[in-house]
Amino acid sequence: MNTQIVDSLNWRYATKQYDASKQISAEDLETLKEATKLSVSSYGLQPYKVILVENPELRAKLRTVAWNQTAVTDASHFFVFAVEKNLGAKQVQAYMENISNTRGIPVENLAGFSGMIHSAIDGLDENAKENWAKRQAYIALGTLINTAALLKVDATPMEGFDAQKFNEILGLEELGLATAVAAAVGYRHEEDAAQHYKKVRKSNKDLFINL
């Protein structure tokens, strides 16, 4: 068993109180961004954007519609994962062009792959497309959280907010985006009592099923 990984995941917790005086280094921030970019995504499509909210005034407004959670403003950085709306031909074509440019493959040679993606998503209604995109965003969120743990950087995944208000504050609707989930990233405050709680998880016997 890789103890470094397990120890890091045991160390992490959903930080409740951040030390606002501590900032993530530029190097660690780039690592977190790169890891998030490299996250698993169905077909590799990445049907989402990741907004790094740095403006203090915007973060203060977001906090008011996030049950006044201090992590929104006190953490070093605040990430918002927003899914692309009206998912379809535009995103698939852009992805095919990216593959073509990256791998030196003519776009026309990717028609089969493009068709497979279209067959999977074109028949979905807009609500189903958005839910599918959100699942992809959550995978990227998990990558961000786990990478932060390996760096000994604290992180808090967040769903407790008014997503529509987030959209309005960040001007996401004009960009064709909708908030899915968020994450505060920084360093725990020494007075955050939650860091001392024992981690509660199912036992291997209760979690895993061998067939």
What is the distance between the alpha carbons of residues 185 and 32, in angstroms, rounded to a whole number?
10
What is the distance between the alpha carbons of residues 45 and 95, in angstroms, rounded to a whole number?
6
What pLDDT does residue 82 have?
A: 98
Query: Which has the closest alpha carbon to 70: 179, 163, 180, 156?
Result: 156
Report residue 98 as tokens: 């990216």
Asked whether residue 103 is domain-assigned, the answer is no
Asked whether residue 165 is domain-assigned, the answer is yes
- Count other C-beta atoms under 10 Å from residue 23's C-beta: 14
pTM reported for the whole predicted model? 0.96
| Segments forming the whole domain that contains residue 62 | 23-40+47-86+126-188
Asked whether residue 11 is domain-assigned, the answer is no
Asked whether residue 143 is domain-assigned, the answer is yes
Encode the chain (211 residues) as per-residue pLDDT tens digits: 889 999 999 999 999 999 999 999 999 999 999 999 999 999 999 999 999 999 999 999 999 999 999 999 999 999 999 999 999 999 999 999 999 999 999 999 999 999 999 999 999 999 999 999 999 999 999 999 999 999 999 999 999 999 999 999 999 999 999 999 999 999 999 999 999 999 999 999 999 999 9
The string over 85-124, giving b where at least 16 C-beta atoms fall within 10 Å of a residue's C-beta and e elsewhere, is bebeeebbeebbeebeeeeeeeeeebeebbeebeeebeee
Q: For position 152, which CATH number holds?
A: 3.40.109.10
What pLDDT does residue 157 have?
A: 98
What pLDDT does residue 1 have?
A: 87
Asked whether residue 107 is domain-assigned, the answer is no
Asked whether residue 199 is domain-assigned, the answer is no
The string over 151-185, giving b where at least 16 C-beta atoms fall within 10 Å of a residue's C-beta and e elsewhere, is bebbbbbbeebebeebbebbebeeeebbbbbbbbb
Asked whether residue 180 is domain-assigned, the answer is yes
CB 7 within 8 A of CB 152: no
* Count of domains for the chain: 1
Asked whether residue 151 is domain-assigned, the answer is yes
Query: Strands 77-84, 177-186: parallel, antiparallel or unpaired by DSSP?
Result: antiparallel
